[in-house]
């Protein structure tokens, strides 16, 4: 029986506005609107008026435009796949971790490779002494790959591999390892990231320039469509864009524009769009803007369907966007790190409400060091609890019909589409990336975000508000990089002694000739070379002879940090600190006859340069003269540039755990070259247990995640003054 109340009369929107004005700042209800970093105005109240003209608000899951999900039943029948992205040290160590994770409820393996492997270097290369086994697992040959997947049935367990630069030898190694396990290519399931365009924008683990890199992608899509029908040939990634500073609209637009470019590349090879598009997948970052993340994923499916219809795709599998998600690493804090468990849970729920097909949840200690087994278990159990205990999976797209979410989804789609049209007007994403425009857009967003945090406009609990007086020590995983490298070199030497050298040389020559001529499929040739026991470095070098190795420009944005910091909404004491520091720098310049000069550097193969670029921008806006070292410098190269540029200080930005090897090396090199008056400071992810080691090595300042840049800048200035006084 339905009960009605004849006395009930719905209030009008005007009546609500009058009531709300009584408590709104200055009586202005519009002041309650939240202007997102994407430029979208989010109102405090939505009604049916906001959705009455939306064209897609009443669609259904499993049907065009797939806004509500790619499958009709979604999690009600099959929940998302729980993945654990991990890799560290040796193949043996990583294999043991994967097997434990699978036994404890993990449903797929996601492999993190070390930076030497990403950049196509074998572990014995002189440029990678500080990187082997540090931020991922070291893989030099198929023998390492066989150990990595030992006792993991590759016909039953899907494997996701985050690899872009050295994608050919790594994917070939996986295929051959499976063959030698008795699993044919047609039974392999999983994903290879294979998304090189975003590497030129943000992550920087590229090897070759954009044009030959696109040829590699086309070859992989072609080969896998023919021989590996269950395997996703590319995972088009926005994750690293958001981690580098992009807001949700930029991440969405640039990622879909990348996808559009890859589809063009495959079609240009003569492939039918419906023959490969069903194996394309996407990869999003999920940060702390909860509503925006849900809207972003719903809007992504809507826009991808629109894009694929533009290519005359007919198959539903070509039109539907399928995605993997990972909770944000950047949102994790070194300070009060157990708060990160809560952050990751909120982000995981946003991914689930957005309709992800698989998910990795980050461990709470990843702003400190590589995750431990303890922290990884909490991260994995976060997903198991959401899946098994909450009943969230029983309802398909529970946000559907929400006035706010439907309007926000359309606003997000419109904001992203405007950027995609801007990219198309430039000639497509390859040209937008090659020009540096896309990278600078992301770096400007990153600098603006950092300024909002440092000025207190954006609250980070435990960092710029509700801070602990003392921090509890957290156990952190430490990798003995020297021991890992020694064991890898020993295995490399053994392989080279046992293989048929003439057969290897013939296979490498075939790759070199195909790279030079453009004929032949490079993945097919790489698989043949791996069967002969050619190494990752040898296969990469064979292509480099024709393709060359890409060198990035070291542009930086200016004025963005100061503009976001220097506003009426910045707290008075914070602005006083900022202005006093600028005055102090001016006084230094007057007294010394020049401004304090710093060089911001990235040592080794760590290409994650968000922190370095933001620090460079902020220091410049404060009045420092700032030089940017090129990516992938050795300590010797960095010291030489610092001396030639006559800097007062070198700042080393580190994220990939190579600090205990590379930072002492730069200090020793400066001393060796007679420049021990140049001070060295360090910023980034450094476990507190390593601080004393670095101070004893000669470091003058260490600034972990969450350190306000003006605070670090004032300390660096003080250290420079102290050095000059001696």
Q: Which residues are catalytic?
A: 85, 239-240, 602, 606, 608
Element (H, E) at 280: strand 280-286
Query: First vs last Cα of the chain: how many Å apart?
Result: 89
The CA-based angle 242-88-223, given to 5 degrees, is 70
Which residues does 483 contact at the CB level (< 8 Å), separation at least 6? none
> Cβ(178)–Cβ(188) under 8 Å?
yes
Give the CA count within 13 Å in the CB-facing half-sphere of 44. Answer: 13
The encoded tokens of residue 175 equal 């295929």
The Cα–Cα gap between 53 and 442 comes to 33
> Cβ(489)–Cβ(90) under 8 Å?
no
Which residues does 589 contact at the CB level (< 8 Å), separation at least 6? 595, 596, 623
DSSP 101-142: HHHTT--EEEEEBPHHHHTT--TT-GGGTTTTTTSSB---SH
3-state DSSP assignment of residue 680: strand
Of 172, 140, 126, which is closest to residue 605 (Cα–Cα)?
A: 126
The Cα–Cα gap between 651 and 222 comes to 44
> Cβ(446)–Cβ(323) under 8 Å?
no
The encoded tokens of residue 269 equal 């090879």
Listing from the earlier edge strand, what are the strands of the sheet with 625-628? Answer: 625-628, 597-601, 649-654, 679-684, 701-703
Please report where in the chains the tokens 């939505």 appear, as a residue.
46
> Based on C-alpha coordinates, what's the Rg of the chain?
26
Q: Determine how many CB atoms are found less than 10 A away from the CB of residue 147.
A: 18
Task: Report the sign of the C-alpha dihedral through residues 642, 643, 647, 652, in that order.
Answer: positive
The Cα–Cα gap between 332 and 349 comes to 16
> Checking DSSP bridges between strand 649-654 and strand 190-192, what pairing results, if any?
unpaired
């Amino acid at each position: 029986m339905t009960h009605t109340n004849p006395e009930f009369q719905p209030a009008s929107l005007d009546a609500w506005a009058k009531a709300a004005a009584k408590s709104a700042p200055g009586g202005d209800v519009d002041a309650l609107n939240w202007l997102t970093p994407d430029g979208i105005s989010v109102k405090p109240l939505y009604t049916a008026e906001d959705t009455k003209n939306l064209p897609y608000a009443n669609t259904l899951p499993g049907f065009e435009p797939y806004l509500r999900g790619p499958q009709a039943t979604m999690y009600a029948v099959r929940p998302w796949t729980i993945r654990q992205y991990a890799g560290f040290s040796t193949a043996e160590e990583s294999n043991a971790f994967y097997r434990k994770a699978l036994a404890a409820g993990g449903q797929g393996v996601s492999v993190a490779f070390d930076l030497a492997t990403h950049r196509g270097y074998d572990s014995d290369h002189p440029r990678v002494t500080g990187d082997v086994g540090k931020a991922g697992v070291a893989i030099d040959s198929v023998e390492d790959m066989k150990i990595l997947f030992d006792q993991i049935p590759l016909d039953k367990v899907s494997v996701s591999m985050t690899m872009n630069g050295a994608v050919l030898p790594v994917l070939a190694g996986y295929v051959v390892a499976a063959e030698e396990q008795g699993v044919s290519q047609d039974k392999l399931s999983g994903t290879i990231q294979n998304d090189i365009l975003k590497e030129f924008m943000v992550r920087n683990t590229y090897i070759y320039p954009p044009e030959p890199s696109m040829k590699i992608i086309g070859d992989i899509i072609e080969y896998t469509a023919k021989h590996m029908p269950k395997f996703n040939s590319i995972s088009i990634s926005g994750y690293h864009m958001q981690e580098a500073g992009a807001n949700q609209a930029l991440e969405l637009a640039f990622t879909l524009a990348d996808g559009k470019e890859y589809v063009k590349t495959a079609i240009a090879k003569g492939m039918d769009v419906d023959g490969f598009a069903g194996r394309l997948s996407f990869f999003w970052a999920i940060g702390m803007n909860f509503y925006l993340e849900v809207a972003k994923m719903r809007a992504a499916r809507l826009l991808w369907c629109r894009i694929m219809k533009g290519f005359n795709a007919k198959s539903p599998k070509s039109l539907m966007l399928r995605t993997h998600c990972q909770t944000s690493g950047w949102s994790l804090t070194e300070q009060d790190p157990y708060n990160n468990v809560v952050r990751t849970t909120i982000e995981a729920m946003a991914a689930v409400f957005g309709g992800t097909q698989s998910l990795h949840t980050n461990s709470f200690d990843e702003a400190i060091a590589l995750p431990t087994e303890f922290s990884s278990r909490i991260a994995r159990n976060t997903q198991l609890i959401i899946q098994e205990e909450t009943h969230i999976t029983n309802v398909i797209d529970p946000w559907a019909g929400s006035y706010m979410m439907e309007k926000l989804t359309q606003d997000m789609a419109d904001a992203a589409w405007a950027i995609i049209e801007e990219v198309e007007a430039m000639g497509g994403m390859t040209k937008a990336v090659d020009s540096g425009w896309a990278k600078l857009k992301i770096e400007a967003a990153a600098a603006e975000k950092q300024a909002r945090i440092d000025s207190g406009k954006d609250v980070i609990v435990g960092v710029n508000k509700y801070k602990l007086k003392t921090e509890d020590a957290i156990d952190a995983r430490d990798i003995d990089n020297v021991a890992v490298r020694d064991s890898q070199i020993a295995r490399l030497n053994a392989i080279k002694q046992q293989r048929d050298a003439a057969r290897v040389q013939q296979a490498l020559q075939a790759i070199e000739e195909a790279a030079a001529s453009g004929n032949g499929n490079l993945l097919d040739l790489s698989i043949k070379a791996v069967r002969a026991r050619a190494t990752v470095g040898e296969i990469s070098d064979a292509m480099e002879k024709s393709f060359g190795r890409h060198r990035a420009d070291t542009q930086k944005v200016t004025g963005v940090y100061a503009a976001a910091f220097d506003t009426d909404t910045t707290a008075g004491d914070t602005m006083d600190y900022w202005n006093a520091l600028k005055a102090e720098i001016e006084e230094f310049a007057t007294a010394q006859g020049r401004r304090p000069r710093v060089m911001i550097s990235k040592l080794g193969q760590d290409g994650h340069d968000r922190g370095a670029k933001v620090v460079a921008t902020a220091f410049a806006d404060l009045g420092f003269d700032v030089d940017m070292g090129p990516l992938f410098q050795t300590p010797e190269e960095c010291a030489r540039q610092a001396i030639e540029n006559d800097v007062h200080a070198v700042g080393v930005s580190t994220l990939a755990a190579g600090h205990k090897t590379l930072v002492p090396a730069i200090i020793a090199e400066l001393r060796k070259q007679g420049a021990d008056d140049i001070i060295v400071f360090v910023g980034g992810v450094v476990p507190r247990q390593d601080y004393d080691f670095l101070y004893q090595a000669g470091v003058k300042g260490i600034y972990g995640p969450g350190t306000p840049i003006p605070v670090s800048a004032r300390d660096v200035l003080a250290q420079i003054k102290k050095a000059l006084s001696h």
